[in-house]
Amino acid sequence: MNKGTMMEWMGIEFTEAKEGYLKAVMPVDNRTLQPMGLLHGGATIALAETLGSFGSALLVDLEKNDVVGQQMTANHLRSVCEGVVYGEAEIIHRGKTTHLWNIDVKDEKGRLISTCRLTVVIKNKKS
């Protein structure tokens, strides 16, 4: 599903997926760094939204519904300048029209880099 998308370009790869839970890895390199050489907050948020949105897509009937991110909050707690980061998403609310995800992004040593909350809206597909 990532072929030809921003996720492919950024090097995001899913490593685990089960109902209500996903993990992915993303490189910290020229594609994801900001000018000061640190992991860009926007790249971190892109990883988090990818995990939550994809997680919601796995929970609904995509022939009848679309899933779209509605709101994201992120707290960036630590910087990273090389290696990879790991995103781990868990659903914390699974309603009929909204899902709420908690996504933690950690470095290679398991230290928390960012913690995010994503609200995903479940919309009926237009005919």
Active site residues: 49
CA 39 to chain centre: 15
DSSP 40: -
Residue of 98, 93, 84, 94 whose CA lies nearest to 23: 84
Half-sphere exposure of 26 (CA within 13 A, CB side): 36
How far apart are the C-alpha atoms of 111 and 108, rounded to whole Å?
7
What string of DSSP letters covers 59-103?
TS-TTTEEEEEEEEEEEE-S---SSEEEEEEEEEEE-SSEEEEEE
